[in-house]
Structure 1
Amino acid sequence: MSTSRRKRTEEDEFIDAEIPDDDAPIPEAPREPLHGLVALVGRPNTGKSTLFNRLVGRRVAIVHDEPGVTRDRHYADATAGTKRYMLVDTGGLDPESDDPMRQGIARQVELAIGEADVVVCVLDARAPVTPAEHAELGLLRRSQKPVIYVANKADNPRLETEATDLYRLGMDKLLSVSALHGRGIGDLEDAIEAALPREPRIEPREDEDAIRVALIGRPNAGKSSLVNRIFGEERMLVDGRPGTTRDAIDILVERRGRKFLLIDTAGIRRKSKVHKEGSPIEAVSVLKAIRAMERAEVVVLLCDAAEPIAEQDAKVLGLAVDRGTGVVIALNKMDLLDRKTMDKAEEDTRDKLSFVPWAEVSPVSAKTGRGVDRLLDQIASVSDVYRRRVPTGELNRFFEQVLATHPPPTHGGRAPRLFYITQAETSPPLFVVLASDPEKIHFSYRRYVANQLRKTFKLDGVPVRVKYKARRRRELKASTEKR
């Protein structure tokens, strides 16, 4: 007993000394390109949130028996076969309701349908058909989007048989599933894979040298003013063309010897405004930001320095980190604040966005131009890191020093062996470590290695992703001999 207590204490001391105390997620390997957006729609209490969690593979959406719990959309990556897609959970749709809140939800659902590539209509296998379902299906048919009809809560063969009554609504095919128990989920994923676009939604790159920058933020943050300021002065090349989503514009501009492709997006409103006014704007603004992120290598979150960081700011920035993009946080309207207030705004920003301690916070004034050149330099620097490749020799000299200083902690009486590290990909950087027992490497040690990589090779501004891979003994021997 004393031996196990001593080992645990030593490991705790190691973690406390070397691992930053933050909630930053451990970066994973880069995902495949996004094939599209899939929206879950349906009447209240049909089990959309449970199905959302089932398809995503983890508990994300709030689930409750009370109708109408889901009022805001939830967004998460999911995979169907070989295709990755963004899954969107929507509030309960009741087209015939005269309740202002329900009407607001209905407008948001309609806009989510408009942005989606595939719609999954979730029906209740145990409930009788009502006029509201007819109105709902009429809305989906008018959208002219691919629709997959699902009879949820078919928890057993008897309920699956009863669900055939839903064919009275006029659909050609109905999938019976149980989101709670997992019945029929494989068939649903096959249907989603077949309905998604064959190729990923990636815009052609007209200029490979241009740094693709997605500008996101709330409407009052001064995003348009910043865009105008960037390409309105000393411009050498400016080109505007329609983007992939409504109200988005791509602007190609050359400044300070570099080309920037600015991807402007609709403003993202705070949730309190959405709830108070029942506005549908927020319903699609996040979707547009997601589409912009899929095309960008650097995301600039523009905030009003005089306003506190909102939950939506953190949520969207988290989506950018999840996609492996570089990140720069810009605090606008510095011309309206004194030095002390500006310093306080920077401190509060870092505190509320503590999950990205490696992201630069840059004060700017779109109105006067102060700080804009520095912001562009930071974007260019992050882009260079995003595309950087570290030579394998340098990586392994670094790795030998890490192992000599702090080898991995023991697990179950023995320590995992780490043999070799290499950079597998750029844009964003992905490092692969060959190990004997990857599953036994403590999450804190994984974070330590990522932090040391960032520190040693100055990988600021981008998520550092490290994948631990097991190899058979003979493969390990071959890899060692190559060194």
Structure 2
Amino acid sequence: MRNVAIIGRPNVGKSALFNRLAGRQISIVHDQPGVTRDRIGSICKLGQAPFEITDTGGIGSEPDPDFAESTREGAFIAMGIADVILFVTDSIDGVTPLDGELSSMIRSVARQVILVVNKVDTESHESRGFEFSRLGFKNFVTVSAAHGRGIGELVDIIESLLPEFEPELEPDQMPPLKLALIGRPNVGKSSLVNQILKDNRTTVSEIAGTTRDTIDVAAEYEGQHYILCDTAGIRHRSRHNTSVEVFSVMRSEKTIRRVDINVLVIDATCGVTTQDKKIAGLIQKAKKPAIIVLNKWDLIEKQTNNDPDLLREHVERAQSELFFLDYAPVVILSALTGENIRRLITMVEKVRQHATRRAGTGELNRVLRAAIERQGPPSRGSRRFKLLYAAQAKESSNSSIAPPLFVLFVNDPRLLPESYQHYLCARIREQWEYPGLPILMRLRGREGVNLDMNE
């Protein structure tokens, strides 16, 4: 759900604003600083569509340093997963040095921000808000959380900045998964589509085109709905004989980006070719979920006389050749005989299921800190990398399946080499199973330096 985080120094009225937006008293309101130390969540239903609100502890002026650190971390985590940040200030106190520090900290998170000047109880107090314009935030509103003044205007601004509301769907209302069958010519992609359709005997529609087009087929398998995208075979670039073939390759590359899961089909009798690697590279570059299919397994079984060691060797060799797509599980099957077709569909559903998994913030931070303690990143001169905290966020995506995204708040992202980011992603994958899903990592620095990477 869309999320709004309430941030500010102690005793500026954050909890009063939270209760006002929630429509009931959830956070304790008191004029003693530091009453709220934990993050508290609720739903605001004052606008046209609901959104989640998160109240955080006041940052700064905390007498207990242990609480101060945990409160600061909690606020950063809330900002990391928020779509919009409400930066609450106190019109009576005016702009304080701590407000200035917090404004810099909030800008480093790179989110939509609304500066909320609280305790403007009457129209005659409006002039108190003028000095806050020097903090430099575009979105600005004066309110009285205690009396409800200006709350309607605040909600209007929040809704203008939030992403479009998407109601949660019941499982039977979920849109069908789009599966692209990608691969070289003649590896059995169309045969695989036909085998799936034969198994369930239900074809709803077939959408357009010539044999060089991407064919989208709507199908149902054991109650689950899918769109199967059978793409034109992607040839080696030197073998594109016509402009039509070049165009078909472009269509296939576009299909990789638009579908939910890419199924890379490989001819098991040939092994992984150079062109297979290039196609796998397109999937990796697009940061898309993937499954690797070793097709024509019936022929491999004949060649090896079903020797389990030789069969395992084929799978391990394919995984080694496609090491850069190591998040993709391997399914062996035969599109000709239908062997293991059900196993492919089971894996598709497993990828869908694990895409909804969330890592608990506390456990995530423990896993990453333990990984850093076990093997720290290299230092640059006297500067050393420091992880402040981490949280899983929701990746904005047009797809039904979004890869897991982890936001790491650090002292300086430039101190973390790419190889070490892969090390951290591997530790995450050890703790939480994400079959078929690339792990995305976003680094946020104290001074507004940000870096994105994907495993």
Deviations 1:159-198 (A, max 9, x none): xxxxxxxxxxxxxxxxxxxxxxxxxxxxxxxxxxxxxxxx
Match of 1:256 among 213, 219, 222: 222
1:401 maps to which residue?
370
* Cα distance in structure 1, aligned partners of 2:408 and 2:299: 49
2:204 maps to which residue?
238
Match of 2:390 among 392, 409, 421: 421
1:75 maps to which residue?
none
Match of 1:439 among 411, 414, 425: 414
2:178 maps to which residue?
212
Deviation for aligned residue 1:221: 0.8
Deviation for aligned residue 1:318: 0.9
Alignment of 1:102-141 (within 5 A): none
Q: Is the 8 A contact 2:206 2:218 kept in 1?
A: yes
Deviations 1:352-395 (A, max 9, x none): 21212222121111111111111111122123333443333332
Opposite residue 242 of structure 1, the aligned amino acid is A
Match of 1:382 among 335, 341, 351: 351
Residue 292 of structure 2 aligns to a residue whose secondary structure is strand
TM-score (norm 2): 0.53
Query: Relative to structure 1, is the Cα distance of residues 363 and 236 closer, same or farther in structure 2, using a 3 angstrom cutoff?
Result: same
| Pair 1:351 & 2:317 matched | no
Root-mean-square deviation over aligned CA pairs: 2.8
Query: Relative to structure 1, is the Cα distance of residues 239 and 394 closer, same or farther in structure 2, using a 3 angstrom cutoff?
Result: farther
Query: Relative to structure 1, is the Cα distance of residues 429 and 249 closer, same or farther in structure 2, using a 3 angstrom cutoff?
Result: same
* Cα distance in structure 2, aligned partners of 1:258 and 1:404: 44
Q: Is the 8 A contact 2:178 2:226 kept in 1?
A: yes
Residue 409 of structure 1 aligns to a residue whose secondary structure is coil
Query: Relative to structure 1, is the Cα distance of residues 289 and 207 closer, same or farther in structure 2, using a 3 angstrom cutoff?
Result: farther
Match of 2:335 among 339, 354, 366: 366
Deviation for aligned residue 1:464: 0.9
2:279 maps to which residue?
316
367-376 or 254-263: which moved more? 254-263
Opposite residue 266 of structure 2, the aligned amino acid is C
Deviations 1:79-123 (A, max 9, x none): xxxxxxxxxxxxxxxxxxxxxxxxxxxxxxxxxxxxxxxxxxxxx
447-456 or 459-468: which moved more? 459-468
* Cα distance in structure 2, aligned partners of 1:337 and 1:437: 51
* Cα distance in structure 1, aligned partners of 2:356 and 2:249: 26
* Cα distance in structure 2, aligned partners of 1:244 and 1:324: 29
TM-score (norm 1): 0.50
1:102 maps to which residue?
none
2:47 maps to which residue?
none
1:392 maps to which residue?
361
Q: Is the 8 A contact 2:212 2:245 kept in 1?
A: no
Deviations 1:2-25 (A, max 9, x none): xxxxxxxxxxxxxxxxxxxxxxxx
Residue 355 of structure 2 aligns to a residue whose secondary structure is helix
Larger radius of gyration: 2
Alignment of 1:301-312 (within 5 A): 301-312=264-275
Q: Is the 8 A contact 2:184 2:234 kept in 1?
A: yes
Match of 2:295 among 306, 327, 332: 332
Residue 312 of structure 1 aligns to a residue whose secondary structure is helix
Deviation for aligned residue 1:433: 0.3
* Cα distance in structure 2, aligned partners of 1:445 and 1:244: 47
Opposite residue 222 of structure 1, the aligned amino acid is G
| Pair 1:299 & 2:265 matched | no
Residue 454 of structure 1 aligns to a residue whose secondary structure is helix
* Cα distance in structure 1, aligned partners of 2:222 and 2:362: 33
**Which 5+ residue runs of structure 2 have no aligned equivalent?**
1-171, 396-401, 449-455
Opposite residue 312 of structure 1, the aligned amino acid is Q
Opposite residue 456 of structure 1, the aligned amino acid is Q
Q: Is the 8 A contact 1:231 1:238 kept in 2?
A: no
Alignment of 1:52-201 (within 5 A): none
* Cα distance in structure 2, aligned partners of 1:299 and 1:244: 22
Higher relative contact order (CA 8 A, sep 6+): 1
Q: Is the 8 A contact 1:269 1:281 kept in 2?
A: no
* Cα distance in structure 1, aligned partners of 2:343 and 2:227: 17
* Cα distance in structure 2, aligned partners of 1:325 and 1:387: 15
Q: Is the 8 A contact 1:326 1:383 kept in 2?
A: no
**Which 5+ residue runs of structure 1 have no aligned equivalent?**
1-205, 474-483
Q: Is the 8 A contact 1:243 1:250 kept in 2?
A: no
Query: Relative to structure 1, is the Cα distance of residues 457 and 226 closer, same or farther in structure 2, using a 3 angstrom cutoff?
Result: same
Residue 329 of structure 1 aligns to a residue whose secondary structure is strand
Q: Is the 8 A contact 1:330 1:364 kept in 2?
A: yes
* Cα distance in structure 1, aligned partners of 2:183 and 2:218: 20
Query: Relative to structure 1, is the Cα distance of residues 211 and 251 closer, same or farther in structure 2, using a 3 angstrom cutoff?
Result: same
Deviation for aligned residue 1:266: 0.7
Deviations 1:203-245 (A, max 9, x none): xxx9743221111112211111100111222345633223899
1:288 maps to which residue?
251
Opposite residue 394 of structure 2, the aligned amino acid is E
1:26 maps to which residue?
none
Query: Relative to structure 1, is the Cα distance of residues 351 and 281 closer, same or farther in structure 2, using a 3 angstrom cutoff?
Result: farther
2:431 maps to which residue?
456
* Cα distance in structure 2, aligned partners of 1:359 and 1:324: 12
Deviations 1:287-335 (A, max 9, x none): 1211111211210111111113222221121111111111111111111
* Cα distance in structure 1, aligned partners of 2:232 and 2:425: 34
* Cα distance in structure 2, aligned partners of 1:266 and 1:337: 25
2:452 maps to which residue?
none
Query: Relative to structure 1, is the Cα distance of residues 313 and 207 closer, same or farther in structure 2, using a 3 angstrom cutoff?
Result: farther
* Cα distance in structure 2, aligned partners of 1:337 and 1:372: 16
Residue 221 of structure 1 aligns to a residue whose secondary structure is coil
* Cα distance in structure 1, aligned partners of 2:332 and 2:349: 16
Opposite residue 393 of structure 2, the aligned amino acid is A
* Cα distance in structure 1, aligned partners of 2:408 and 2:439: 13
Deviation for aligned residue 1:282: 4.3
* Cα distance in structure 2, aligned partners of 1:430 and 1:382: 15
2:446 maps to which residue?
471
